Amino acid sequence: MGEADNLFGDEHVRVYRETGGETGHIWREGSTILLLTTTGRTSGEPRTAPLIYAQDGDRYVIVASKGGAPEHPGWYENLSKPPEVELQGEDDIVPARTRPPPPTRSRRRAW
């Protein structure tokens, strides 16, 4: 078990930021984690979530599954307004703009 395996939520965000992703970027079973910062849809405050991701060329791919729950996770709901977000992959922090899910054929490729 790695040092980051027991990190979750706010603690994962804190450690990831403190170490520039050195601890927290590689998570359970080799999953890679990025930090997604959105603007709260009702509060207007920044909200950061650690998320498993994959890369498709120069794009980050994240899935709003909420562990299979029937409702979307809060961070997904925050993507509607505004679509501008911040991504942190290891120590690289970049502004980004979200896009709707791709057509079915592209989704299959991402999976």
Query: Hey, what amino acid is at 104?
Result: T
pLDDT number for residue 109: 60
pLDDT number for residue 66: 80
pLDDT number for residue 81: 75
pLDDT number for residue 111: 54
Query: How many Å apart are CA 69 and CA 47, to the nearest integer?
Result: 20
pLDDT number for residue 44: 92
pTM for this structure? 0.87
Reported as a single tens digit per residue, the pLDDT across 53-70 is 998 888 888 888 887 888
Reported as a single tens digit per residue, the pLDDT across 6-39 is 899 999 999 999 999 999 999 999 999 999 999 9
Q: Which two tokens stand for residue 40?
A: 């709260």
